[in-house]
A and B are shown apart, each in its own frame.
Chain A
Amino acid sequence: MTSERRLMQGNEACAEGALKAGLQFFAGYPITPSTEIAEILSRRLPEQGGKFIQMEDEIASMAAVIGASLTGAKSLTATSGPGFSLKQENLGFAIMTEVPCVIVNVQRLGPSTGGPTLTAQGDVLQARWGTHGEHTIIALCPASVEETYYLTIMAFNYAERFRTPVILLMDETIGHLRESVQLDKYDKMKIFSRPRPWETPDKYLPYAAEDDAPPPMAVFGEGYRYHVTGLVHDESGFPCTGNHAAIDRLLRRLNNKIMAHQDEITLYKDTMTEDAEHLLIAFGASARSAASAVKIARREGIRAGLLQVQTLWPFPEKLIRQKTLGKRSVLVPEMNLGQYAREIKKVVSDKTMVVTLSQIDGRLFHPNKIVAYFRGEERHAEIL
């Protein structure tokens, strides 16, 4: 990549970021507003020796991604809400079997088919809890085209390092947005690949690992044979439904392997938060609106600041506690009815007021809603 500034679309940045991260396999089923990711990769991925396949539906796409990853390929699928719902079962399978992969959800207005070209951030909690059972997930959320490139690379890095599915939670606005980017500064980013076993195939225990680490991952087709199951399993990979100690060890390890590294997984940006009386916490496209509102508020003499959360999950509890300490209020503008605001409320001191600001009409969150709140005129503000 040269140092030239390029005009790029969010979805294109996602595709390019995936290639930069070493993407080798994509399976998907096109859906607005994520289609460009598949469209671009159908051309770009084979050029780089990778495989692109359009599957019969989203369920099969997710299954194909898991299969490809088991053969050692860095794998990706991209979808939107309706497809994301369909992928949930296999997403859980990938968590349980510790198969690294990246799932992009370019959010559109839901529920159901909702509004294919309308923007929304309604899948924040679905990303966290869409699949059943106790589990931990990583979800990243970009607020610009350049961030989309960067966070796609980080999504692959986390997936590979921790052997887990990672969700890149975009929104229609950022997916379809075009803006200038300068990507050469990411040329030297460290690219991670999953750890490989050093044992010979006859000694390989596929799920043997430290209490807070993923196990090394063998590549199918290189002589290692092992059992991959969504059932609870012990180090051998075979089901252990009667061994409660092994079940406990597995489920705690699946959580610990991520949570032990939470500090380094927590990505964010902050602007004028230090002296802020009112802290805005935002993510995705609405973070851009919040940034604009902060500037307007400052001009009117209101001490506002912005914490833009890039890592939505695991929930950055420590960061939020730290940044909200001593603030008069915390305002959370979201294109949903307060999904993240309620998570924030759980960890913020009672002395700080948490307010959810919502816009769910399919249009981009407008900065004037935030400004109107400061003037006491916003209708869709709710104190939690």
Chain B
Amino acid sequence: MMKDPRQWQIRLSGSGGQGLILAGIILAEAGNLENKYVVQTQSYGPEARGGAIRAEVIISDMPIDYLEVETADIFLALTTEAYAKYCYNVASGGLVIIDENVKTKLQRTRVNRFPIIATARDSLGREIVANIVALGVLVSLSEILHYDTVLAALKKRVPPHTMELNARAFEKGWDLGKERLAVKEVEKI
């Protein structure tokens, strides 16, 4: 399928309960705030917790017909199972972001490993915000959306009493991305 340069296709994956659908919703919300066309879809099993899930977001300057991601410009995985199941059709030049604990079969070098879950657990004290740390990494590395709009989207979509923690998580993730960019090029497929 011909690729529209003004369209970002993003696939987020992890384990059910890690909040990746919420992360997808926040990305879509931020895209909407920047007046883009957005669609967000998801795939999950009947289980409420555990099991690999994926959330997909398309952010585009033009109306979107087909609703799912065909070739991912950005792929994120927080678990090995999700990586194995959902890391397909990544665009050439695409960005792959994975948690440092994700085991990839081949020793792939062109993936960007980050201590996403560890940051949430150790520096923020709550593993539950790993999704938002990941979001910070993703947005700062890809520069698809502005920091402020993602923060505004976050505010619209997380419970008010968790906003402060989530904002810190987003900032931590953002910084992880920026630090990496400062020392080396981001790896592309």
Q: Name A residues whose Cβ lies closer than 8 Å to a Cβ of B.
A: 5-7, 32, 116-117, 173, 176-180, 285, 288-289, 291-292, 295-296, 299, 364, 366-368
Contact = CB atoms under 8 A, between A and B. Distances in A.
> What class of interface size applies to chain B in its complex with A?
20 to 34
Contacts of A292: 1, 65-66
Interface string B43-86: 11110000000000000000011111000000000000000000
B32 interface: yes
Contacts of A5: 32, 35
A212 B141 CA distance: 64
A6 B32 contact: yes
A288 to B, nearest CB: 5
A288 B65 contact: yes
25 contacts: A7-B25, A7-B40, A116-B46, A117-B43, A117-B44, A117-B45, A173-B41, A176-B41, A177-B41, A178-B25, A178-B28, A178-B38, A178-B39, A179-B28, A179-B38, A179-B40, A179-B64, A180-B36, A180-B38, A288-B66, A289-B66, A289-B67, A296-B2, A299-B2, A367-B1
B32 A288 contact: no
Contacts of A288: 65-67
A171 to B, nearest CB: 11
Contacts of B2: 296, 299
B149 interface: no
B109 to A, nearest CB: 31
Interface of B: 1-2, 25, 28-29, 32, 35-46, 64-68
B66 A7 contact: no
Contacts of A296: 1-2
Nearest to B45: A117
A9 to B, nearest CB: 9
Given A116-B46, A117-B46, A178 B65 contact: no
B38 A7 contact: yes
A339 B1 CA distance: 29
A125 B123 CA distance: 56
B50 to A, nearest CB: 14
A164 B29 CA distance: 38
A129 B68 CA distance: 32
Given A7-B32, A180-B38, A291 B43 contact: no
B140 to A, nearest CB: 22
Nearest to B30: A7
Given A288-B65, A368-B1, 7 more contacts: A5-B35, A177-B40, A178-B40, A178-B41, A179-B38, A292-B66, A367-B65
Contact of A295 (B37, B42, B46, B65): B65
Nearest to B68: A364
Contacts of A179: 28, 37-40, 64
A6 B31 CA distance: 11
The 4 closest A-B pairs by CB, nearest first: A292-B66, A292-B65, A291-B65, A178-B40
A180 B66 CA distance: 15
Contacts of B39: 177-179
B1 A177 contact: no
Nearest to A367: B66
A180 B37 contact: yes
A184 to B, nearest CB: 15
Contacts of B65: 288-289, 291-292, 295, 367
Contact of A7 (B28, B44, B45): B28
B28 A173 contact: no
B40 A364 contact: no
Nearest to B44: A117
Contacts of B29: 7
